[in-house]
Structure 1
């Protein structure tokens, strides 16, 4: 059915749940998995506390270390299940674009990603990368939601 699954990660617990789901589906279908993390660009406009006090080089270095840690988690989960896996530290201004570009470049046929479930006004204000992927993707997207 599916031959190549893309699983974005942001390092969250819910994201890890999506990784386990993608790996399980890949194992059932004899498919491969590609994990992707978007290395964030440095902006002079501060949007997260971790950017305060960082130079551009320091910020990029810290985010690349974060990417490696999160992508190592994807590789380890896939390896434990015996699923072939590769990873990508994509860059760009918008995570949904990085996700869709990686899916296209890697010839993926399913995207498995987490949704933190921010709906209503909060979802509109903070935006939803999952919603943007759903809106713009030509591929099927499996959304992993928080357990209640």
Structure 2
């Protein structure tokens, strides 16, 4: 059925639940997992508070550390479930495009990700297949 599952994560608690869901799905199917996090690029003209106070170098360092922490936590969830996982960190202004592009390039069968959590207290998971 599915052999490769891309799990997109932003490091939030809701996203961690999607990682758990995706790795459990992979375990049940005997599939591998690709854990992906996407950071936005630094913009000289920005309205985001964290970008207004940072230089390009400090912003990149901050985002790299955040991505490493996010992927490390996600990889631990996969490892605990006994699932083989690889990690990828990308920079892109449109995370959804990076997620789709990565799924296509890596020939992933399914994408698992959480919603933004705006719909209530229950997590929503989006599972899309090619």
TM bucket normalised to smaller? 0.7 to 0.9
Please tell me the root mean square deviation across aligned C-alpha atoms, in Å. 2.0
Matched residues, number = 125
2:5 maps to 1:16 = no
TM-score (norm 2): 0.88
Q: Which runs of 5+ in 1 are unaligned?
A: 120-129, 142-148
TM-score (norm 1): 0.78
Q: Which runs of 5+ in 2 are unaligned?
A: 120-124
Matches within 5 A, 1:79-98: 79-98=79-98
Larger helix fraction of residues: 1
1:5-63 per-position Cα deviation (integer Å, ceiling 9, x unaligned) = 10111111110010000000000000010111112100123232221221001001100
CA distance in 2, matches of 1:104, 1:93: 18
Decide whether the 8 Å contact of 2:14 with 2:117 is kept in 1: no
Moved over 6 A (4+): none
1:117 CA drift (Å): 4.6
